[in-house]
Amino acid sequence: MLLSGCSGRHNWLSSAGEEAQTIEPLFWTVVAGAALIWTLVVGAAVFAHRAEAKPHREQQARRFIIWGGAVLPTVVVGALLIWGLFILRDLVADEGDLTVRVDGERWWWRVIYETPEGEVFTANEIRMPLGKTTLFRLTADDVIHSFWVPAMGGKMDMIPGRETKLTLTPTKLGSWGGLCAEYCGGAHALMRFDAVVMEPEAFDAWLQNESSPARITEGDPGWEVFLDEGCGACHTLRGTEAVGQVGPDLTHLASRERLGAGIYDMTPENMARWITDLDAMKPDIDMPAYPYLSGDRLDALVSFLMSLK
């Protein structure tokens, strides 16, 4: 079970970011140190068990306890704490090349890019340019969540009414897994996201696209279904009359790699199930299922949603 954590997109030892590289030596030092201390303690226990009982001086025993049991642990833990605080200082820097606000919701992520031209709203996926430092300003809407991209660096709690900060500087291209690392109720385990690292030019093009209003063809039957079913009460399609704020912004939904906060591939089949069989896809969430949608109306809605690129 432990080894299963050693590969894949959630692997925090793959060091896909500068921050993760800062944390890594601390981890290995702690592992090596712990192994050494464990060996010494177990060795001493075995020795004590085997050795013949001989009288010893009390002063000697007391000295051993004070140095081995108080001074040594204090020095070791103190040194690790100081090292950790220095690392923390690097992880919570106050500025970056780019600022992104992420708001933890039950059970998804509201994501807002701050650009010179204004705010760009998206959800459930963050994209970052390679080699640039992205500053995340983190908040939570309801309960405490925690923002974590294991391959990139430290995790940071998201606390209602307070803003916390975290910087990530990706060093490897790819799509890395992110997740909520603080139990937040029902669908907590399904509260994930993708952290996609792109070449800076590709990133700029993506952000440009993301900032544009929804592209909707007049008279698209799927758009009619979307309006009829009241999806717009909870979801926003920028530039249209759908301005709901309860759920994720869907303006460029199909440009995301995954559906449902990082849990399903973005395919028409999954999209249809998301709408009709939501309880099986992600139970207990704040979106009603529409089991009665079927046939042409469902097909039209699904192809409409899949066209929101």
* Interacting residues toward ligand HEC by CB under 6 A: 107-108, 123-124, 187, 226, 229-231, 233-235, 246-248, 253, 256, 259-261, 274-275, 282, 285-288, 290, 301, 305
Which one of 117-125, 172-180, 254-262, 276-284 is the stretch in contact with Cu ion (CB under 5 A)? 172-180
- 43 touches, from Cu ion, ligand HEC, none (C-beta below 5 to 8 Å by class): none
- 108 touches, from ligand HEC, Cu ion, none (C-beta below 5 to 8 Å by class): ligand HEC
The least distance separating Cu ion from the CB of residue 137, rounded to whole angstroms, comes to 17
| Strand extents, DSSP E, 182-256 | 192-198
In 3-state terms, what secondary structure has residue 163?
Answer: coil
Query: What is the spatial distance between Cα 18 and Cα 130, in angstroms, rounded to a whole number?
Result: 11
If the CB atoms of residues 92 and 254 are measured against ligand HEC, the closer one turns out to be 254
CB burial string 17-43: b at 16+ within 10 A, e below:
bbbbebbeeeeeeeeeeeeeeeeeeee
If the CB atoms of residues 155 and 252 are measured against Cu ion, the closer one turns out to be 155
Query: What is the spatial distance between Cα 222 and Cα 308, in angstroms, rounded to a whole number?
Result: 11
- Can residue 207 be called a binding residue for Cu ion (CB under 5 A)? no
The least distance separating ligand HEC from the CB of residue 28, rounded to whole angstroms, comes to 36
Query: What is the spatial distance between Cα 7 and Cα 302, in angstroms, rounded to a whole number?
Result: 34
- 110 touches, from Cu ion, ligand HEC, none (C-beta below 5 to 8 Å by class): none
x/- letters, 177..196, toward Cu ion (CB under 5 A): ---x---x------x-----
- Residues in Cβ contact with 10 at an 8 Å cutoff, skipping those fewer than 6 apart: 150, 151, 176, 177, 179
- Can residue 140 be called a binding residue for Cu ion (CB under 5 A)? no
- Can residue 110 be called a binding residue for Cu ion (CB under 5 A)? no
If the CB atoms of residues 7 and 294 are measured against ligand HEC, the closer one turns out to be 294
β pairing state of 98-105 and 134-140: parallel
Query: What is the spatial distance between Cα 26 and Cα 13, in angstroms, rounded to a whole number?
Result: 12
Query: What is the spatial distance between Cα 269 and Cα 254, in angstroms, rounded to a whole number?
Result: 13
The least distance separating ligand HEC from the CB of residue 131, rounded to whole angstroms, comes to 27
The residue ranges that bind Cu ion (CB under 5 A) are 145, 180, 184, 191
